[in-house]
Structure formats: structure tokens, C-alpha cells
């Protein structure tokens, strides 16, 4: 999350194309003489570097995703409390879920959002009880 890795989709595609353009598959190269083995190391090294970059970026994005989802649960619960105080509806949680599905580009059904919230509530509870270090 705090790394200096900058990963643009265009850059990934260019790196992938460069790696593919370097040569044949490892199996084909292994069948040839040893002078081509350096090409395998080049391809393998290039794809290893790209895989590492993508894995690190993915890990950082996943961390951010979990933090945002946990905070969303907190905001959802605040919205339910707000509806209760204002007596704005009978089914307070259902109203807040309907509102989220209708107004905020989730493009999910209420059932799908409730299912996701089950996981997100777990993230929120972990953060609340043990903080993010947990």
C-alpha cells in the first residue's frame, strides 16, 4: 500500500508484449542447444519481475479495498441510526440497503449487497476490536 510501485495498464501490456516478443516458450528453447538458454532466463526474468510488480500492486489495492469496505460498514450503520432517529422508514436496515443499491452505483441486487456486507462487517469488527494491526 505504501510502496512506490506505479502500475499503469498500458505499461503492463507493453511489458507483457516485450516479454512475449523475446522468444519461444521454455520447452521449445530447452529442446535447442545451450546458447538459447540465456533467452529463457531473459523471458523468465522478465515475467518474474512483471509478476512481482502485479502481485505487490494487487496486495496494496486489496488492503485499500478492505479498509474502504470496513469504513463503508461503519457509515452504513450510521445511516441506519440516522433513519431510526428520524423515523424515516419502518425497516431501517432494508431502507439503507435499498438506498445504497438505488443511488450509489453498486449495480448489485439487495441480496448481493447483503451477502457482501456479511464479509465487510467482519473486516469492520476486526478493525474495531483489534485495529488494523490484527
pLDDT at res. 112: 92
CA 25 remoteness from chain centre: 30
Confidence band, pLDDT 50/70/90 cuts, at residue 111: very high
Q: Is the pLDDT confidence value at 116 over 60?
A: yes
Instruction: Tell me the average pLDDT across 96-123.
Output: 87
CA distances from 63 to 33, 47, 59, 112, 116 (A): 46, 24, 6, 22, 16
What are the tens digits of pLDDT across the range 18-41? 766 665 554 444 444 444 444 556
SS (H, E, C) 71-116: HHHHHHHHHHHHHHHHCCCCCHHHHHHHHHHHHCCCCCCHHHHHHH
- Note the pTM of the prediction, 2 decimals: 0.61
**Percent of the chain scored above 90 by pLDDT?**
9
Cα end-to-end distance, the chain, whole Å: 16
Residue 43: burial class (beta carbons within 10 Å; 0-12, 13-18, 19+): buried
State the average pLDDT over residues 113-124: 91
What is the structure's pLDDT at 115?
93
More confidently predicted of 109 and 12: 109
Check if the beta carbon of residue 104 is closer than 8 Å to that of residue 50: no
Chain-centre distance of CA 117, in angstroms? Answer: 16
Q: What pLDDT is stored for residue 103 in this prediction?
A: 79
The Cα–Cα gap between 34 and 122 comes to 54
Amino acid at each position: 500500500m505504501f510502496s512506490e510501485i506505479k502500475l499503469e495498464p498500458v505499461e503492463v501490456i507493453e511489458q507483457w508484449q516485450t516479454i512475449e516478443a523475446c522468444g519461444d516458450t521454455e520447452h521449445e528453447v530447452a529442446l535447442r542447444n545451450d546458447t538459447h538458454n540465456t533467452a529463457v532466463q531473459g523471458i523468465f526474468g522478465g515475467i518474474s519481475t512483471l509478476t512481482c510488480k502485479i502481485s505487490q500492486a494487487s496486495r496494496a489495492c486489496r488492503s485499500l479495498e478492505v479498509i474502504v469496505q470496513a469504513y463503508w460498514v461503519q457509515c452504513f450503520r450510521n445511516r441506519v441510526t440516522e433513519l431510526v432517529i428520524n423515523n424515516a422508514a419502518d425497516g431501517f436496515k432494508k431502507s439503507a440497503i435499498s438506498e445504497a443499491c438505488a443511488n450509489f452505483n453498486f449495480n448489485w441486487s439487495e441480496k448481493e449487497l447483503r451477502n457482501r456486507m456479511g464479509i465487510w462487517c467482519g473486516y469492520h469488527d476486526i478493525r474495531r476490536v483489534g485495529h488494523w494491526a490484527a
